[in-house]
Amino acid sequence: MARTVQATVNGRKYYEENVEPRLLLVHFLRDRLGLTGTHVGCDSTNCGACTVMFNGKAVKSCTLLAVRADGAEITTIEGVADEDQLHPLQEGFWEKHGLQCGYCTPGMIMSALQLLERHPDPDEATVRQELEGNLCRCTGYQNIVEAVLWAAERLKSAGA
Amino acid sequence: MPMIGQSIKRREDLKYVTGSGTYVDDITLPGMLYAAFVRSPHAHARLLGVDTTKALEHPKGIDAITGAEAYPLAGPMPVYSYREAAVIKKPDYRCLAHDRVRFVGEPVALVAAADRYAAEDVAELVEVEYEPLEPLMNPDESIKPDSPKLHDNLDNNVGLRIERRGGDMEAAYREADFVFKRRYRMHRHTGTPIETRGCIAQYNTGTQELTLHCSTQIPHILKTHLSEILDFPEFKIRVIAPDVGGGFGNKLQVPPEVVALCLLAIKTRRPVKWIETRRESLMAFLHAREQTHDVEIPMKRDGTILGIKSHEIVNAGGYLDARISGPSLGAGMWLPGPYMVKGFHVDIDAVMTNKCPYGAYRGFGSQMGALVIERSLDLIARELSRDPVDLRKQNVIKETPYKCVTGHEFDSGDYMAGLDKALEMVDYGALRAEQARLREEGRYMGIGVAMAVEGAGWNTYTAAMAQHYVPTLDYATVTMRMDTSGNVKVLIGDVACGTSHATTAAQVAADAIGLPIDTIEVVEGDTAVTPYDSGTRAARFSAVVLPAVAESGMALKKKVCRVGAHLLEGAEEDMEIVEGQVQVRGVPGKSLPVSRVARVAYSEVATLPHEIPAGLEATESFKAPMSGLCITWPYSIHIPVVEVDIETGTVKFLRYAIVHDCGVEVNPMVVEGQVVGGTAQGVGGTLLEEMVYDEDGQLLTTSFMDYLIPTATDMPSFDVCHLQTAAPQIPGGYKGMGEGGCVYAYAAVVNAVADAIEPLGVEITSTPLSPSRILELLREARG
Ligand code: FES
Ligand code: FES
């Protein structure tokens, strides 16, 4: 039975009728809401390209059904910047060359957001461990780690 | 300040970090249908019938096409060959199977449905009748003369035979004190870009145009091939490559799936989108690397390598991919490495089996050549009780340019100095002492050394197989168009797939014209607006495309100066452009902004003398000189230091030092990103990734759960040292890079692991080196 899903995504209200029960959240975001920054890289919940913030927690949006999003608060990569002001993580990826093809980047940034919430002052090993669920085929991860450490520094000095 | 040489931030990144990139699956066209393939569950079977009736009864099932329907509409898939390659006969490779299926995942039919999920449902309703046949999985078996044939029109299962000879192999054997012999086996793995393949095909009945949005590295070449395969006028085909989520050579493929998609778009008169699932991708996108080499190396007791000979067997899979000869020859022709050898001899057989077709993947086979020579050097050093580095120093090429027995002319660089630098980075002497100490404690540390000359800008295709178009990689054409405000678009027929073209090409253009970089923008990927180009491949962007950018920029500058000279009443040859101002050299104050010149050139044309043409646009080509199979010869030395845990079989990196030389670097940050990323891919390919088939031909690694690509915790930090020896034959001195890391890592990591566990009596001659494989080797050694 198709359902109606009402959700807040990136601070905006969305109302979608006729949502098939089997529709995955990632396809709901991409195909129904047009938020194509969230990507799909696998069909076994391994790659993390689809990571979004769901009620404050980083989740792989290919593992959730869209109907679960009814009443939820979701942040996707499109909602990470504050208007035109990039989030320090976005700046960090840019500054440190933390991306090449960019396909894994939105998912990486969403996972890193949660990482920095949990570990405001992470070391390299922590960053690597926390990003284990996100695959990148281009960078070898080195600059992704640098990018996250750069952002952590930035956030710390902004908070201080 | 010149832009070339600056590590400026990438100009393409804002869209990616904000989620506003546009990959093919991000595009939706009005009236678009979704496609799904019906794929063979058998490795080998006769196809008795395909029935789409039930599928089309599904309310969302719109249309379908089978192999039998496609057969008269689309010709065979292309195959290129190389000079001197003997191709016996070509397997009949069609976009959809029509008589037999020859690997698990081979497409049999294609359906179109109203939405993404329905397409899968509809595909499942297609009824296919198979008569299973015995699969041939082992090339050593299928190469035998009495083996059943996989393709009726071939004489046997050898799809391609190449024989290459160089120097004097007979003399090498004559002078030898002994002949080192081994068999090496490299396993099957591949590039797996995180974005799988995908395409939207659309046919416009009014204009009779076929438009494709396709994740590809070769929009122009794809267009040409589609025109041939579909017998469709080339100028009525437009291929647009949007943002591409990784290519790694895999996306050089002319996908049979895309041909079938075009047929369905023409049939339905509606745009049809196909996005490959990961499972499909692992089964049916190209595989790579799997080879064996039976090697002989005639040696002198004093450590002199005299020659190298190999019989190389490539497991080509069920059909020949267009580029089959590339990675085959790529391995064979790289066997001598950066060493002075007298004789060279390789016989290559690409053998048909019931696996996924074998194609291009970053490094194009050269990692296998590097593995064979570098592993052999370590084993020979052990036999002669020599230090492996010492043996390399004795044999390495001391001076460039150097004419290799393969016919390659290595252009420039100091390989010995590179090796010394890498040894210094890891403090080799101290490491060996440390290793001895650790061994006494029962810890197994290993040092791997590998060095290789890489080769950028392959250009060896020939039309030997006549009926197909054959791309050539040694030239590029670039158009520069200045608009009425003085900003410039640089039009290039390539596609960036993580390769930073929008930044590096803009850096070169800014210097060539004399404009601030923020007034320059690079446009790629659309065949309707960019000049013809062979695509993003073989590390040719720096060596071939960037010189064309410079030429075209200088031509545009000349045009701007001509108009400027008229306006400033100066001589054309006295004009210069500095920071966006056209000025008379040495005369301060006599200047105009480029924007003013542009305005005149477009809208005040009547004020210009008759000989000055209207508008500001230039198109120039650069044709690179060839040296052997390639255009330029970047090189690198890798020294990983590992510790092997003999209880668990896991490999931990303690250090990883890389010295590399790709000539003049336009953007060192980007270069380092490519070096590190490529190395990571090589490390993953050596230690983790393997395409595993069972004996019935079923692929066991159909998800990222089983096909393990490296994660952040699997990877070490890499230390990179940049040498920059300008390529003498390329304006700008660029050598091309990007494949590199992936070429050397394989040999270096295998040598490191081997060095670690060698005291336990293990000899490594095959890959992968997964924990379970290492434990198995240790068990075997214990007996
Ligand atoms: S698409 Fe969700 S984890 Fe890969
Ligand atoms: S940047 Fe390409 S997959 Fe990470």
Residue of A nearest to B247 (CA): A101
Residues of A whose CB is below 8 A from B500: 100
Residue B539 confidence (pLDDT): 87
Chain-centre distance of CA B32, in angstroms? Answer: 32
Q: Give mean pLDDT, residues B431-451.
A: 97
Please indicate, yes or no, whether residues A96 and A142 belong to a single structural domain of this protein: yes
Q: Is the pLDDT of residue B467 over 80?
A: no
Which atom of ligand 1 is found nearest the CA of A48? Answer: 3
Q: What is the dihedral of CA B381, B387, B388, B390, to 10 degrees?
A: -110
pLDDT tens per residue, range A34-83 = 999 999 999 999 999 999 999 999 999 999 999 999 999 999 999 999 98
In this structure, the residue with its CA closest to atom 1 of ligand 1 is A40
Mean pLDDT across B462-484: 80
Q: Is A143 on the interface with B (CB under 8 A)?
A: yes
Q: Report which of B117, B97, B110, B115 is spatially closest to residue B55, judged by C-alpha positions.
A: B110
A129 and A147 housed in the same domain: yes
**Residue B87: pLDDT above 80?**
no
Q: Which CATH number fits domain B13-19+33-133+191-284: 3.10.310.10, 3.30.70.20, 3.30.365.10, 1.10.260.40?
A: 3.30.365.10
Would you state the pLDDT for residue B381? Answer: 98
Ligand 2 touching residue A137 (CB < 6 A): yes
Nearest CB partner across the interface for B19, out of A77, A124, A139: A77
Right CATH for B475-623 from 3.40.50.300, 3.30.365.10, 3.30.70.1290, 2.60.40.1930: 3.30.365.10
Q: Which of B230-244, B267-281, B618-632, B642-656 has the least mean pLDDT?
A: B618-632
d(CA B40, CA B531): 39
Whole-angstrom distance, CA of residue B562 vs CA of residue B572: 5
pLDDT of residue B470: 80
ipTM computed for the complex: 0.98
Kindly list the residues from chain B whose CB atom is less than 8 angstroms away from the CB atom of residue A134.
711-712
Domain of A105, in residue numbers: 88-158
Tokens standing for B141? 């078996």
Same domain, A65 and A108: no
Q: How is B529-567 classified by DSSP, letter by letter?
A: TS-----S-TTHIIIIIHHHHHHHHHHHHHHHHHHHHHH
**3-state secondary structure at position B390:** helix
| CATH number of domain containing A64 | 3.10.20.30
CA angle B777, B779, B783 (to 5 degrees): 110
Q: What is the DSSP letter of B322?
A: T
Bridge partner list, A54: A57, A74
For residue B465, what pLDDT band results from cuts at 50, 70 and 90? very low
Mean pLDDT of chain B: 95
Every domain of chain B and the residues it spans: 13-19+33-133+191-284, 291-459+627-782, 475-623
Hey, what's the torsion of the CAs at B688, B691, B693, B698, to 10 degrees? 130
Q: Which of B15, B17, B251, B665 to mutate to test the interface with A (most CBs of A within 10 A)?
A: B17
Query: For residue A106, is pLDDT > 80?
Result: yes
| In a shared domain, residues A42 and A67 | yes
A99 CA to centre of ligand 2 in angstroms? 6
Q: Is the pLDDT of residue B84 over 80?
A: no
H or E element in which residue B116 lies: helix B116-124
| % of residues, chain B, pLDDT over 90 | 90
In this prediction, residues B506-527 reach a mean pLDDT of 97
Residue type, A159: G
Question: Which CATH number, 3.30.365.10, 1.20.1250.20, 1.10.3720.10, 3.30.1310.10, labels domain B291-459+627-782?
Answer: 3.30.365.10
Do A36 and A103 belong together in one domain? no
Question: Residues A71, A8: one domain?
Answer: yes
- Does residue A49 sit in the same domain as residue A70? yes
Mean pLDDT of the B573-602 span: 94
**Which of B23, B193, B741 comes nearest A137 by C-beta?**
B193
CA of B680, nearest ligand number: 2
pLDDT at B745 over 80: yes
Give the per-residue pLDDT at B82: 59
Together in a domain, A95 and A34: no
**pLDDT above 50 (res B463):** no
Interface check B6 vs A, CB under 8 A: no
**Token pair in block for residue B235:** 């100028």
Whether residues A56 and A96 share a domain: the answer is no
Q: Is the pLDDT of residue B627 over 80?
A: no
State the pLDDT confidence band at B85, using cuts at 50, 70 and 90.
low
Confidence of residue B458 (pLDDT cuts 50, 70, 90): confident
CB contact under 8 A, A43 and B278: yes
Q: What is the DSSP string of B235-280?
A: GGEEEE--B-S--TTGGGS--HHHHHHHHHHHHHTS-EEEE--HHH
Residue A108 shares a structural domain with residue A69: no
Q: For residue B334, is pLDDT > 70?
A: yes
Sign of CA dihedral B608, B609, B612, B614: positive
A8 lies in the same domain as A75: yes
Beta bridge partners of B450: B638
More confident residue, B408 or B282: B282
Please give the Cα distance from B420 to B657 (Å, whole number).
12
Q: With cut-offs at 50, 70 and 90, classify the pLDDT of residue B625.
A: confident
Q: B763 to each of B186, B290, B755, how far by Cα in Å?
A: 15, 20, 9
Please tell me the distance from the alpha carbon of residue B734 to that of residue B731, in angstroms, as a whole number. Answer: 8
The residue with tokens 């989108």 is: B273
Averaged pLDDT for residues B500-514: 98
Edge-to-edge strand list for the sheet holding B575-578: B575-578, B581-584, B591-593
Residue B136 has pLDDT above 60, yes or no: yes
From residue A3, alpha-carbon distances to A15, A22, B752, B760 in Å are 11, 11, 58, 64
If DSSP codes are grouped into helix, strand and coil, which group holds residue B747? helix
Using pLDDT thresholds of 50, 70 and 90, give the confidence band for residue A84.
confident
Residue A154 belongs to a domain with what CATH number?
1.10.150.120
Give the pLDDT score at B134: 97
Block residue for tokens 């797939």 = B497
Which tokens go with B266?
Answer: 């023409």
Q: Calculate mean pLDDT across residues B667-689.
A: 97
> Half-sphere exposure of B633 toward its Cβ, with a 13 Å CA cutoff?
26
Are residues B741 and B721 in contact, defined by beta-carbon separation less than 8 angstroms? no
**A37·B19 Cβ contact <8 A:** yes
Mean residue pLDDT across chain A: 97
Total domains, chain A: 2
Percent of chain B scored above 70 by pLDDT? 98
Q: Is some CB atom of chain B closer than 8 A to the CB atom of A75?
A: no
